A and B are shown apart, each in its own frame.
Chain A
Amino acid sequence: MSGKTINLTLKVWRQPGAKAPGRLETYRAENISTDASFLEMLDIVNEGLTLEGKEPVAFDHDCREGICGMCGSVVNGRPHGPERETTLCQLHMRHFADGDTVVIEPFRARALPVVKDLVVDRSALDQVMAAGGFISVNTGQAPEANSLPVPKDKADLAMDAAACIGCGACIAACPNASAMLFTSAKVSQFALLPHGRPEAARRALAMLAQMDACGFGNCTNHQECEVECPKGISISNIARLNREFIKAALGSAEELPVIK
C-alpha cells in the first residue's frame, strides 16, 4: 500500500444499445489511488458522471476477485488489460503511470454483441456448454465417490482446465474470434477424468458443432488466447480437443442437435 495517487485520461467506448452506433468519449480520472482496482477507478469516474447528471459507463462485474468471469473489457488493446493472468477486477492502478491515456473498449466478436457501453452478450458461451459441457448424471444416480480412483496428475490437469471462468477474453483476443480455448478447457476437463469418458466423443463433436453454429470462428493457431487468458488456461487443451475430435469423428455417425 503506497498512498500514491495518479491522474489519467480515459477514452471509453460509449454505445447506448445493441443497434445504436458507438464512439469513444474522453473523461478525466483524477486523484486515483494506485491501490485502487481498475473497476474502483471506473466507479470513481462513474460517481463523478452521475453527479454531473450524466449516465455512468455501463460495465459488467460482480465478484471483483477474479472468479466469476463477469468483468472484462479491452484496455489499451488488451483484454483484461496489461497484467498477465489478471482479470480486469484484479488489475490495480499501480500498474499505470501518472498522465497515462487509457483506452477502454468492449470485447469484440461477432458472437458476443455489445449490449451497452462495455457490456457484451456472452450467452453463446452458455449455448456451447449446453450442447455438451456436462456429464449426464442425474441427482441420486452416483456411485460412492471413491469407487473410481483418478490418478492425481490427471485430476490436477483436469483442475487446470476447469479453472476457466468463462469470461470470453480468449475470444476477444483471437483474430478469428474463435472460442476454442474456452471449449477445449471444458472438453479436456471431462476427457481427463474417467467419469467423463463415456460421453467424450459425443461431447467434443457437439460442443464444436455448437461453436460453429453460434458464429465463433475457427482456430488457426495464433495462440493469442493463451497469452490473454486471465486464468492461465493452456493451449495444450486445444491439442487435446483436436485429438478427441479426431477420435470421435472417426467413430461416430450420430446426428448432433444444435441449439438455435
Chain B
Amino acid sequence: MELDSKIPGGPLETKWERHHFDLKLVNPANKRKYEIIVVGTGLAGGSASASLAELGYRVKTFCIQDSPRRAHSIAAQGGINAAKNYPNDGDSIWRLFYDTIKGGDFRAREANVYRLAQVSNLIIDHCVAQGIPFAREYGGLLANRSFGGAQVSRTFYARGQTGQQLLLGAYSSLVRQVARGQVTMFPRREMLDVVLVNGQARGIVVRNLVTGEIERHAAHAVVLATGGYGNVFFLSTNGMGCNVTAAFRAYKKGAGFANPCFTQIHPTCIPVHGDYQSKLTLMSESLRNDGRVWVPKKARDTRRPHDIPEDERDYYLERIYPSFGNLAPRDISSRAAKRMCDEGKGVGPTGRAVYLDFADAIQRLGKAEIEARYGNLFQMYEKIVAEDPYTTPMMIYPASHYTMGGLWVDYNLMSTIPGLFVLGEANFSDHGANRLGASALMQGLADGYFVIPNTINGYLAGTKFGEVTDSHEAFKESEAEVEARVQKLLSIKGKRTVQDFHRELGSIMWEYCGMGRTDEGMTKARKLVADVKAEFWENVTVPGSHADLNQSLENAGRVADFLEFADVMLLDGLARRESCGCHFNEAFQTEENEALRDDVNMAHVAVWEYAGEGKEPIFHKEPLKFEFVKLATRSYK
C-alpha cells in the first residue's frame, strides 16, 4: 500500500491555491459525461452532491434514512468555526489553523488543516446566502461565541440547532439539483460494497431497505461521506443508524484505515442511567461557556448539591487549567471527569457524573439570558432527567461522540483506492488525535462544498476510463457476496438478539478502549471481542425476511462489521506507543496525569491494510512533517 499524501510544496499559505492551478480541469461540456456516486447526505455528502451537480456532473446520491435531510449531522448543536475575526479579538486563519493542529495534539497534516482554516470563511458566506438563520446581533450582523479549546470567539451558531440548520441548507441545495435532474436521490439504501474494476472504484452495491432488493450502481467515481463509527461503543451520542459498514467494506476492498483508535469521548453528555438505554444525549459544549463544572471535595459525599457549601466544592477544571478553565478541550475535560469519579467524587445515583452548574451565570446574566442562549438544551435535559437545570445543577458524564480516525485520504481526499474519495467524519484527515468543538461541521462542509468539487476534476481529467456497466463481472461477484451474507445472517436463528451482542461489544470497548487504556486491557479486549464475534456468527437471531423492510437485518449487518472493526481499533491502540489527544495509554503519562507524546517515534498516521480473512492487518505509516509549526507540549494551564 502506497501512502502518497500528495501535499503540494511551497509556502503553507499558497499550497491550496497553487494546487488548484496544478489540477487538470474537466471541460464544462464534458462534465455531464461523468457520473459520480455520493454515499451519505450529511453535511459532507449533501454539500458534495449539490456542488458537484451544480458543476454539471451527473450525481447519484444514497442514504439510509427516508430523506436526505435526516443524516446525523442534523443533531449537531453548538456551532461552526470560521476565521472571520468579526469580534476583533485576534483571530486569523493562522490562529484557527494553529488551534486546530494543537488541539489535535500534533497528529494531523499541516497542509490539510491550513486549507480547512482558509476555506472556513467561504463556508459562512455560502451558508448565509443559502438562508441559514444564524444568530445575529441587534445591528443585524452575525453573532459569535466561544467554544472549547479556543480563546477567541469564532463560532457561528443557530441557537442550539446549528447542525440542523447547516444540514437543511445543504439539503435545500441538494433537492434543488434533484428538481433540475442533476442529482438522482436514492434514500433508504444501504451501501454494502464498493465495486472495483481494474483497481478503480467504479460503483457500489446497495440494499434497498424497503424491498430488500440488492441493487448495482456504476459510476466513474465514488464518494463516501458515511459519517463516523462512534456506535462501536453501543452507547454514544450518534444516531442509531450510524455505522462503520460503508467504510469497513471499502477497507476490505483495499482502502487503508487510518488511526482507528482516535475516538473522541465528549465531556458533557447526560449520564448513563439504566440498562435499557439505547443512546446518550449530548449537552452541547457551548454550555461550558457559562456553566461551571464541579464535584464535592470529599469523596462519597451524598448531600444534595445545594447542601454542599461553596468551600466544599472543587471546581476542578478552573483549578487545574486556570487559563482555559471550563473551556479546556474535550479530551482533557473528559479525562479530568473520569479521574474525579475514579477518586470517588462522582455524583448522582451511579457516582459516574459531575455537576455543570449555572447558578453563577443565572445570577450574573439573569434567567432570561440563559434561556435565550441554551433554552432548547435545558428543555432537552429536563425531558430526559426530569430535573430543572435552572434550579438544580446538571449532571454530566463523558460519552463516545466523534471519531477522528477514518479512511486514509490524500490531500485530494482520495483513499488508497483510485476513484474512491472520502469526506467528512468518515475520513481521518483534519483533526489528528482530538477534535476541537465546532470544527466537524466546518470540515464536513469544507470537504463537500470546496475541496471535492476541485480535486475530483483532477482525477477525472487525468484518468482513462474503460466502459463499465453494472453488468460487469465485478458487480455480479459483489452482489453474490452481499446476498450470501444476508442469507447467512438470516439462517443462523440463534438465541441472542443483535442488540444484545452490540451492547456486549460496546461495554468491552468502553471498558478497555475508552478514556483510559492499558496494554493489558486492550490485549484482553481483543480476546473478548473475538469471542463475542465467534458467538455472534453462531448464536444471533435475525427474524423476518430479506425481501422487505427488516430493521433487525440492517442492524445485524452493522453489528457484524463493528465486531470485526473493533479488533482493528484495538490493534491500533496497542501499536501507538504514546498517549496523545484522546488516546490515553496509562503507561504514557506525565506526572500530572496528562498525555505524554512521543514526537520522535510516533509522529505519524497509522494506516491499516486489510490482509484477508483471519489475518492480522498490515501496518503502514505516513510520517507527519511539521515545517511550519513547532511541536510543543499541549498545555491549557
Seen from chain A, the residues whose Cβ lies within 8 Å of a Cβ on chain B are: 1-3, 16-17, 32-33, 35-37, 39-40, 43-44, 47, 49-51, 53-56, 58, 60-70, 86, 90, 92, 94, 115-116, 119, 121-123, 125-126, 129-131, 133-146, 148-152, 155-156, 158-159, 162-163, 165-166, 189-190, 193, 195-196, 257, 259
Contacts and interface: CB of A to CB of B under 8 A. Distances in A.
B466 interface: no
Nearest to A18: B210
B70 A62 contact: yes
B69 A69 contact: yes
A165 B75 CA distance: 11
B277 A40 contact: yes
B383 A137 contact: no
B380 A90 contact: yes
B543 A65 contact: no
Contacts of A257: 179
B548 interface: yes
- Residue among A39, A68, A140 having the largest count of chain B Cβ atoms under 10 Å: A68
A66 B77 CA distance: 12
B610 interface: no
Contacts of B495: 51
Given A121-B66, A155-B133, A62 B240 contact: yes
Contacts of B210: 115
Given A64-B239, A142-B122, A151-B136, 4 more contacts: A116-B549, A133-B172, A139-B47, A139-B453
Given A2-B386, A55-B543, A123-B67, A44 B276 contact: yes
Given A62-B240, A134-B172, A163-B161, A69 B70 contact: yes
Interface in B525-557: 541, 543-544, 548-549, 551-552
Contacts of A158: 131, 133
A162 B75 contact: no
11 contacts: A17-B548, A35-B273, A37-B278, A43-B276, A56-B543, A56-B551, A64-B279, A65-B75, A68-B75, A69-B70, A162-B132
B373 interface: no
A140 B129 CA distance: 10
B69 A126 contact: yes
Q: Which of the four size classes fits the interface of chain B?
A: 35 or more
Interface in B322-356: 349
A56 B168 CA distance: 32
B395 to A, nearest CB: 9
A166 B129 contact: no
Contacts of B68: 126
B124 interface: yes
A152 B124 contact: no
Given A139-B450, A190-B131, A68 B74 contact: yes
Contacts of A145: 84, 121, 124-125, 127-129, 142
Given A68-B239, A142-B126, A129 B50 contact: no
A46 to B, nearest CB: 8
Contact of A152 (B67, B70, B136, B176): B136
A234 B50 CA distance: 30
Contact of B178 (A122, A130, A141): A130
Contact of B65 (A3, A43, A68, A142): A68
B316 interface: no
Interface string B502-534: 000000000000000000000000000000000
Nearest to A199: B131
Interface in B556-590: none
Nearest to A119: B549
Contacts of A152: 136-138, 140
Contacts of B135: 155, 159
A135 B129 contact: yes
A156 B54 CA distance: 30
- Residue among B72, B124, B168, B386 having the largest count of chain A Cβ atoms under 10 Å: B168
A121 B67 CA distance: 10
Contact of B74 (A44, A67, A90, A190): A67
A87 to B, nearest CB: 10
A116 B54 contact: no
Nearest to B548: A17
Interface string B118-154: 0001101111111111111111111000000000000
B436 to A, nearest CB: 21
B165 interface: yes
Contacts of A62: 65, 70, 72, 239-241
Contacts of A190: 131
Contacts of B497: 47, 50-51
B614 interface: no
A152 B372 CA distance: 13
B632 interface: no
Contacts of B54: 138-139
B543 A90 contact: no
Contact of B278 (A33, A39, A141, A165): A39
Nearest to B173: A134
B100 interface: no
B276 A58 contact: no
Contacts of B75: 63, 65, 67-68
B305 interface: no
A258 B75 CA distance: 31
Contacts of A166: 67, 69-70
A150 B133 CA distance: 9
Contacts of A140: 122, 126
Contacts of A90: 380, 383-384
Nearest to B498: A50
Contacts of A165: 164
B418 interface: no
Contacts of B168: 162
Given A40-B277, A53-B543, A67-B161, A195 B131 contact: yes
Contact of A61 (B133, B141, B240): B240
Contacts of B631: none
Contacts of B171: 129
A221 to B, nearest CB: 27
Nearest to A206: B179
A152 B137 CA distance: 6
B286 interface: no
A38 to B, nearest CB: 11
A64 B240 contact: yes
Contacts of A196: 131
A61 B72 CA distance: 11
A212 B277 CA distance: 42
A92 B187 contact: no
Nearest to A47: B497
A64 B242 CA distance: 12
A252 B202 CA distance: 46
A149 B384 contact: no
Interface string B446-473: 0001100100000000000000000000
B179 A139 contact: no
B136 to A, nearest CB: 5
B185 interface: yes
A259 B172 CA distance: 16
B233 to A, nearest CB: 15
A122 B133 contact: no
A180 B178 CA distance: 22
A86 B383 contact: yes
B86 interface: yes
Contact of A50 (B274, B349, B384, B541): B541
B273 A1 contact: yes
B399 interface: no
B274 A33 contact: yes
A136 B176 contact: yes
